[in-house]
Amino acid sequence: MYRTHTCGELTLADLGKNITLCGWVQKSRDLGGMTFIDMRDRYGVTQLAFNADDDEALRARARELGREYVIQVKGTVIERSSKNLKIPTGEIEIKVADLAVLNAAKLPPFLIEDETDGGDDLRMKYRYLDLRRNPVRNNLVLRHQMAQAVRSFLDQQGFLEVETPVLIKSTPEGARDFVVPSRMNEGQFYALPQSPQTFKQLLMVSGFDRYFQIVKCFRDEDLRADRQPEFTQIDCEMAFVEQEDILNLFEELISYLFKKVKNVEIGKLPRMTYADAMRLYGSDKPDTRFGMQFVELNPVLQGVGFPVFDNAELVVGIKAEGCASYTRKQIDALTDFVKRPQIGATGLVYLRYNEDGSLKSSVDKFFNQEQLQAWAKAMDANVGDLILVMAGDADKTRKQLNELRLELGNQLGLRDKNKFSALWVVDFPLLEWDDDTKRYHAMHHPFTSPKPEDIALLDTAPGEVRANAYDMVINGTEVGGGSIRIFEKDLQQLMFKHLGFTQEEAQTQFGFLMDAFTYGAPPHGGIAFGFDRLVSIFAGLDSIRDVIAFPKNNAGRDVMIDSPSSISQEQLDELKIEISAKA
């Protein structure tokens, strides 16, 4: 037996016990005739004491141990004289009688401690060392706990975990596919699933009724916005359900997770239509930890003679409570923020409700006091508030004001990571116009059902058709999304037609699904949660990378194993693949 205990469990209750421990040398220090070593494993840190008076030679060997050596010690649990009450083992130490070096270690390229000196790149290259650090390991412990809780909840609800294939054919979730050549089928390729969407629907046709899977998905998309080319979903599907059933059940799942893992009561999730979310927050994933809702000001601010407002499709403002004291410099900084190319606004107008009750705006020459009063009233502003207004094309202005609202939320400390605000956004549009391709795309995916009462609009006003689609949003992040599906061949065919597929294209790509619909497909619907994202929110982290054991960097590379990489000429020949232009 290598060890009798772990490095995290011995306490005063174990005094006098003869034990054997294994672990890594965290650090060592000499004090007079003594050498102390902190030995670490996954469970904690235990102090080892080597006394020169007891065994000069053993103490000398202890002094030679380097950081991260793997050692085994035998000894007795004794009470420590200077106690560390911050850790569970802090009142004892091991009086070591025997020491074995199981493996020496090179000096690690960065400090393996909670606060490390290693930069991102270095830690990614030596991710196996980074994973020894408590904060990184704790994220994976949390991830494990959440995965177990998800499984246990869904199992209790009668869901069956079914694995679906990884080598499939393209699923249109809106991103590019990763493809895998097939040696046995020359010139043909598998695609890695962007999600198991069609398979889970087929499982409903098979009568599985309640399916889930914690599953890897693959999307070859730009990685700017904290995305990973491979990520994990909690993927679910149910038969004989309506939207309401799904919302209720998965709201329960999330409440269960918050309670079980974080002891947080998340409460009943409010529901907001997509239209309201856009109108009030300029975003389909509103951060509802704070208010600062948009107020549309067209009736109040147009027609006064300020051309920027008069010519705008939308004039819309937010109220930063208590910010009237913002200096000119602070307001200029906000203006610069919205004018950055990523946001692209042309300007920002303010109205300040001064402490003395007077109103001051950046467009005073166009507005008299009475008009400023009406403006402040429309914003429900009080003494001390600062109103910020943007104007222009409705969609663009909403997006820009959303950025400003979030930035102000940050600046004012309203986006506390320990506070959680979850909601459902419902009634998404079915289709979304794409300016590049000049056609409509499925906003969720092509299997999402339109609201029956809107089907007639498909021909006349496709952009106005609402879908039975929903997202769960927590703290301004979309953590999950799904829909009630089309389950009749004719409607599915119609949908493909509206998405610009010819009948042949639809048949070649999705004939299997439409055929399945003709063999007794039940009404069904489902949802998928981004598991990495959910864990990162629970952990209070900004990046999903930190909750993935072996993540890829911004360029989609695994710098530890150096992948992607070239393959040998033999492999290429076998696959009948020629590389035409080398990067």
Task: Enumerate binding residues for ligand ASP (CB under 6 A).
Answer: 173, 195, 197, 481-483, 526-528
- In terms of CB distance, is 197 or 536 closer to ligand ASP? 197
- In terms of CB distance, is 286 or 526 closer to ligand ASP? 526
- In terms of CB distance, is 392 or 530 closer to ligand ASP? 530
In the complex, the smallest distance separating the C-beta of residue 329 from ligand ASP, rounded to whole angstroms, is 44
Which H/E stretch holds residue 39? strand 34-41
In the complex, the smallest distance separating the C-beta of residue 554 from ligand ASP, rounded to whole angstroms, is 22
In the complex, the smallest distance separating the C-beta of residue 451 from ligand ASP, rounded to whole angstroms, is 16
In the complex, the smallest distance separating the C-beta of residue 266 from ligand ASP, rounded to whole angstroms, is 21
- In terms of CB distance, is 397 or 483 closer to ligand ASP? 483
Query: Where on the phi/psi map is residue 266: left (φ > 0), alpha (ψ -120 to 50), or beta?
Result: alpha
Are 232 and 512 in contact by the 8 Å Cβ rule? The answer is no
In the complex, the smallest distance separating the C-beta of residue 526 from ligand ASP, rounded to whole angstroms, is 4
Tokens 């034990």 map to which residue? 19
Q: In terms of DSSP bridges, do strands 230-239 and 189-191 run parallel, antiparallel, or are they unpaired?
A: unpaired
3-state secondary structure of 103: strand
In the complex, the smallest distance separating the C-beta of residue 477 from ligand ASP, rounded to whole angstroms, is 14
Q: Which 8-state DSSP code applies to residue 418? A: T
In the complex, the smallest distance separating the C-beta of residue 179 from ligand ASP, rounded to whole angstroms, is 19
Are 409 and 291 in contact by the 8 Å Cβ rule? The answer is no
CA-wise closest residue to 345 among 411, 399, 307: 399
The first and second tokens of residue 519, run together, are 């063999």
- In terms of CB distance, is 294 or 496 closer to ligand ASP? 496
Are 390 and 357 in contact by the 8 Å Cβ rule? The answer is no
Please provide the size of the chain in residues.
Answer: 583
Q: How far apart are CA 269 and CA 287, in angstroms?
A: 13
3-state secondary structure of 490: helix
- 127-130 long-range CB contacts below 8 Å, 24 or more apart? 127/549, 127/550, 127/551, 127/560, 128/560, 129/68
- In terms of CB distance, is 173 or 385 closer to ligand ASP? 173
In the complex, the smallest distance separating the C-beta of residue 481 from ligand ASP, rounded to whole angstroms, is 5
In the complex, the smallest distance separating the C-beta of residue 130 from ligand ASP, rounded to whole angstroms, is 29
Helix axes 394-411, 274-281, angle to 10 degrees: 60
- In terms of CB distance, is 483 or 509 closer to ligand ASP? 483
- In terms of CB distance, is 211 or 294 closer to ligand ASP? 211
- In terms of CB distance, is 96 or 234 closer to ligand ASP? 234
CA-wise closest residue to 143 among 464, 534, 575, 440: 534
Residue 332 C-alpha from the chain's centroid: 32
Are 398 and 314 in contact by the 8 Å Cβ rule? The answer is yes
